[in-house]
Structure 1
Amino acid sequence: MYQMKDERLKWQQLKNTRTAFTFQSIAILGLVIYRGAVDGAQAAFADPLWLVFVGTIVLLTYLNMRISVQVEQTETGKPPGPYWVKVVVALGVGLIGALIYLVATPDWTLFLVFLIGAVIFICFLVPFSLIHYWRLKEIHDEDE
């Protein structure tokens, strides 16, 4: 494969890839929405395209988090705050989510409401933990 040496061409290739990825994501989302409108929401969420779309968004978010940690670390240069604050914030968001589900759907059991709150807590704790770890790693690597 040909190795590009011109930075402008590399940048243009990245822009082209981003454009193709955006088009692909919009097309997949459009197909899922169409399927949901025609066959109902359950059919849309059971569609494998939905899993591809969600997996792609999760992967893109994970990759962008890594870049944003490096950019923020170079701009601010200050160390991350204590980890327990992040755990408390994630726990608070999980509790608020559980309370919203408790009020919005009173026919659900407390177990389901607790499960929803736990999932929200984990979904917030994992990115907070990864960012905290990466920031500490950046600081540790700069010290060496």
Structure 2
Amino acid sequence: MKKIKDERLKLQNLQNIRILFLFENIAIIGILGYDLVTKGMDGMTANPLWYVFILTGVISAYLSMGISVDHESSKKSPKKGLVISVIVSAIIAIVFGGLITFTGDISTGILVGGIVFVSFLVPSIYIYFLRTKRQN
């Protein structure tokens, strides 16, 4: 198979992949929706397609971050953005953890707060590394 060199064909190929990705996601959402209606939330999340859908969303979001950092026009300070993100992540994690401790026990609140903090921290660090790589 030859490598495509024509830019128009490359663009058409990317558009075809985008349409296939959209169709695949609609099919997965349809199957998961059917499982939700027939088996409930537990049945839907037990389906292996649930994991495929979640992983696809996460990978798509991380790939989009790389494009959005390259598209930024202003020279933002990566360190300042990271510090702001860490502070906001900590505040959100403390709020979630505090709300959970009101309804449950302290260990569950700390666990949920920690998970929320790490969930916000990982993309922030990834953006930081993309911005520092772009500046060099």
TM-score (norm 1): 0.85
Give 1:50 deviation, angstroms.
0.2
Q: Deviations over 1:73-127 (max 9, x none)?
A: xx11333242332211111121222344456xx2x32222221121111111000
Find the aligned partners of 2:31 and 2:116 in 1 and give their Cα distance. Answer: 27
Distance 1:18 1:128 in 2: 27
User: What is the alpha-carbon distance in structure 1 between the residues aligned to residue 13 and residue 101 of structure 2?
Assistant: 48
Q: Tell me, yes or no, if the aligned pair for 1:79 and 1:139 is still in contact at 8 Å.
A: no
Question: Partner of 2:45 in structure 1?
Answer: 45
Give the aligned partner of residue 28 of structure 1: 28
- Letter matched to residue 98 of structure 1: G
The residue aligned with 1:80 is 78
Residue correspondences, number: 135
For structure 1, the 5+ residue unaligned runs are none
Q: Summarize the alignment of residues 31-110 of structure 1 with structure 2, pairs less than 5 Å apart.
A: 31-72=31-72, 75-82=73-80, 83-102=82-101, 106=103, 108-110=104-106
Q: Is the 8 A contact 2:100 2:108 kept in 1?
A: no
Determine if contact 1:95/1:117 at 8 Å carries over to the other structure.
yes
* Runs of 5+ unmatched residues, structure 2: none
**Are the equivalent residues in 2 in contact too, given 1:98–1:116 (CA < 8 A)?**
yes
Runs ≥4 residues deviating over 3 A: 99-103
- Measured on the aligned residues, the alpha-carbon RMSD in Å equals 1.6
Compared CA separation, residues 32 and 7, structure 1 to 2 (3 A): same
10-19 or 113-122, larger mean C-alpha shift? 113-122
Q: Give, in whole Å, the separation in 2 of the partners of 1:27 and 1:99.
A: 38
Aligned amino acid, residue 37 of structure 1: V
